[in-house]
Structure 1
Amino acid sequence: MNEMMLKKRSTNYLPEDLVVEILSRVPLTSLARLRWACKGWNDLIKDKILAMKPSQIIVLIDSRVYLASVDMHKIDNNKVNLTSQFSLKDPLSHNFSEEVDIQNVFHCDGLLCTTKDDRLVVWNPLSRETRWIQPRSTNKEFEYFALGISSSNKYKILRIVHTGKTHPGLLEFEIYDFTSNSWKVISESRDWLKPLWKSCVMSVNGNIYWLAFREGDGIFLQSFDFSTERFRRVSLPGDHHYYNILSLAVTREKQQLCLLTQDRQVPANNVWIATKIESKRAASWIKFLSFDLPNFHHPFHFCSPMNFLVDRENKVLVCPGKNNGVSNNFLNILGENKFIQVDHQDGKSVCSLLVNYVPTFVQIHQGSLK
């Protein structure tokens, strides 16, 4: 038996546990190439290896997207590691030589990014697959894009737009279907003001949730179902007249919606988790975390727009540092009797957005989950 055949047989008969151990040490970007080595490796990477990877977050710094790793057991060293940069090349530049400036990031089985020059791209940085989409129009005062999945596993994009031509608070909505590669207008217009903090539109199990405002109703929780293509309100925890609503987030592991509130009568801040969201308006909430911090008396104390991440195991939340040009704090770790300000490695840049990152090999151009 020649040497080539011997190597092939040895690889085929490696115990699965050993193969998993080896592949789990391979960087994410290299796993994308190893998927094609053989079907067995592809199945292991999709079903086991990705789930074993340490929890990572996407941060947006100076219009560039980075992966960051925060070890909650070592946060007292006051450092956060940027493990890699996700590079998105501009197809309009000469020989794809220039990178795209990213304005915002929306995560749902890939990355939905809006660029600063009104272009829209759906981007999977792991497979490096992109899909550039032309919006119906660029005549607007405000717009936001959110990616979702229907019950038949089809990708769709909701565009929330205010053109300024109608009532000041009236929004228009459009749906992009990946399969048909076309936009359509949703006839149902709503007299909401635009989402309060546009970085806080969250995806949970394919549908999206955000905080909205209407005169007379105040702030409320709104959702959009990509299967029915209909809007609905979702109930808030307790009596929402007794607290200020700050921001939304989603847990990484179980895809649960989180709400950060601030009591109006006592100096307390709370993180709520929706354990169940019914098909109608009802939602079941539990109070996950309460904390009181000095100088935490305004929704924009840390950054504006404000967003945060929840670590269920360590009972903390993570939010960006001040975004006012005064502080170089990169992240703040908040919890019961805990307040840690974490610096970036070089202490020069401030994070403007945090998003939990769950890697996937889903193929964007097919328009559905495979």
Structure 2
Amino acid sequence: MSVASFHGVPSLVDESEDEEAMEQNAFRIGSEEYLPEDLLVEILSKVPLASLARFRSVSKRWKVLINYLRFKKSSQIMLIDSRVYLVSINLLGAQDNVVNITSQFSLKDPLSSSSKEVNIREVFHCQGLLLCTTEDSRLVVWNPCLDETTWIKPRSYYERSDIFALGKSSCNKYKILRIALHGPRRAFEFMKPRLYEIYDFTSNSWRVVHDETKDWSILGLARRGTCVDGNTYWLSFSSSQQLWMDILLCFDFSTERFTSMHIPSSGRMFALSMTREEQKLCMLASVAADDVDVWMATKIDGTGAMSWSKFITVKRVYNNHQWMFLTGMNYLVDEENKVIVCPGKSLDSGRFLHIMGEDKCIQVDMHDAGSRCSLLLNYAPTLVSASDIL
């Protein structure tokens, strides 16, 4: 059955490509209150991306759904010069590939009477919601798709070294974890936790979590966690029994407890990421001098047991160029095309990304993005509203 035959609704996709007819049909459909949302999304998904913007004035409902479709078609976000951008990267690895910025997410300052934007320092992604810390140490939960924000006030004050994570319990209750660390934040120093707090959206307040799991440290570069299925994971280091070892730490937002998870090998662990579609946890690890393995979690148990499978192995050296793999580095994993997307080969090469597979490494120019990118994430939009997280 074609989309056009559902409920007798005329299709927005006219084979004659008559744009005037498409727009007339759009307003006719927009006036139908009974039209199911999933059907409307299906119809709008058939419209060329360039034409969608014209239909956002039909209604507020249409604007939200069109934003959802636009964001869904561009699957990555970047943090560039304190602003969040929606970008598109051709992961098939075409030569002369560039990063295309499709739109900017605008986060307005509620304390400003003008349309001044907030400078964003860090972004944490949880199922389409962004938890942002600002340069002036404020905290906000933001859904760019709906253009909705919830600003979170501190119990007393936030520290610049704080680690934040947004998660969801098994009963779909959203929470924020705050980890207060000993000492100021430094990129290449290990820091130990001293206090855990949970923000409860129903009471709009913070409370202390009495978890004694504090025999671990985290490197400043690896402080941003990765959210999978509502829980957050960090690569950290255990200092128990006077031995330092890599551990994978998970915070369960249902039990509000930390658990040390099983890791796939005894090699050095570099960084975590997550696939976009299936939202599987991934890990970069190195055992051999020349190879870096990408592992993918196939099963996660709340007791700490995990099953892993090796996704791909990439070379540190390709065509006489050596790539650096750093603890806590940004990278993307594309399961369908069996590639990862990494930053440049050194700390200073912020102009390029690289699409790396088992037998290829293709440079991606970020000239459209302009300045150095400090964050690159897979992004999947959501229609969860501010009222849904309470």
Amino acid at match of 1:121: V
Does 1:335 find its partner at 2:357?
yes
Unaligned 5+ segments in structure 1 are none
2:257 matched residue in structure 1: 230
TM-score of the two chains, using structure 1 as the length reference? 0.83
Q: Secondary structure at the match of 1:221?
A: strand
| Counterparts of residues 51-130 of structure 1 (less than 5 Å) | 53-73=72-92, 75-95=94-114, 97-108=115-126, 109-130=128-149
Q: Does the residue aligned with 1:58 lie in a helix, a strand or coil?
A: strand
Please give the secondary structure, in 2, of the residue aligned with 1:188: coil
The answer for the alignment partner of 1:134 in structure 2 is 153
Deviations 1:186-212 (A, max 9, x none): 112413213553454111011111111
Distance 2:246 2:175 in 1: 26
Task: Tell me what 1:187 maps to.
Answer: 210
Alpha-carbon offset, residue 330 of structure 1: 2.9
The TM-score normalised by the length of structure 2 is 0.79
Give yes or no for contact 2:246–2:269 (8 Å, CA) kept in 1: yes
Residue number in structure 1 paired with 2:386: 364
Task: Verify the 8 A CA contact 1:24 1:53 in the aligned structure 2.
Answer: no
Partner of 1:142, secondary structure, is coil
Shifted more, 138-147 versus 352-361: the winner is 138-147
Calculate the aligned-residue CA RMSD, in Å.
Answer: 3.4
Q: 1:269 to 1:37 in 2, by over 3 A?
A: closer
Give the equivalent residue in structure 1 for 2:292: 269
Task: Identify which range, 100-109 or 11-20, moves more after superposition.
Answer: 11-20
Q: Describe the SS at the equivalent of 1:197.
A: helix
Question: Which amino acid counterpart does residue 220 of structure 1 have in structure 2?
Answer: I
Task: Tell me if the contact between 1:179 and 1:366 (Cα under 8 Å) persists in the aligned partners.
Answer: no
- Residues 1:350 and 2:372 aligned together: yes
CA drift of 1:356 comes to: 1.0
Match of 2:271 in 1: 247
Report the CA distance shift for 1:152/1:344 in structure 2 as closer, same or farther (over 3 A).
same
How many positions carry a matched residue from both structures? 347
Q: Secondary structure at the match of 1:126?
A: coil
Query: Contact 2:331 / 2:340 at 8 angstroms: preserved in 1?
Result: yes
Q: Which moved more, 1:348-357 or 1:137-146?
A: 137-146
Contact persistence 1:257–1:273 (CA under 8 A): yes
Task: Return closer, same or farther for 1:8/1:103 CA change in 2, 3 Å cut-off.
Answer: closer
Q: After superposing the two structures, state which structure 1 stretch, 346-355 or 269-278, moved more.
A: 346-355
- Between the aligned residues of both structures, percent identity stands at 46
Aligned 8 A contact 1:196 1:212 in 2: no
Q: Which amino acid letter does the alignment assign opposite residue 106 of structure 1?
A: F
Amino acid at match of 2:217: L
Equivalent-residue separation in structure 2 for 1:329 and 1:357 (angstroms): 21
Q: Secondary structure at the match of 1:20?
A: helix
Once residues 200 and 350 of structure 1 are traced to their aligned partners in structure 2, the CA distance between those partners, rounded to angstroms, is 18
The answer to whether the Cα contact below 8 Å between 2:273 and 2:281 also exists between their aligned partners in 1 is yes
> 1:359 is matched by which residue type in structure 2?
P
Aligned partners of 1:246 and 1:10: how far apart in 2?
49
Quote the offset at 1:54 in angstroms. Answer: 2.7
After superposition, what is the alpha-carbon deviation per residue over 1:206-228, rounded to whole angstroms, capped at 9, x for unaligned? Answer: 11111111221412000011111
Tell me the CA shift for residue 323 of structure 1: 6.7
Specify the SS of the correspondent of 1:187. coil
> For residue 343 of structure 1, what is the amino acid of its counterpart?
D
Instruction: Say which SS state the counterpart of residue 325 (structure 2) adopts.
Output: coil
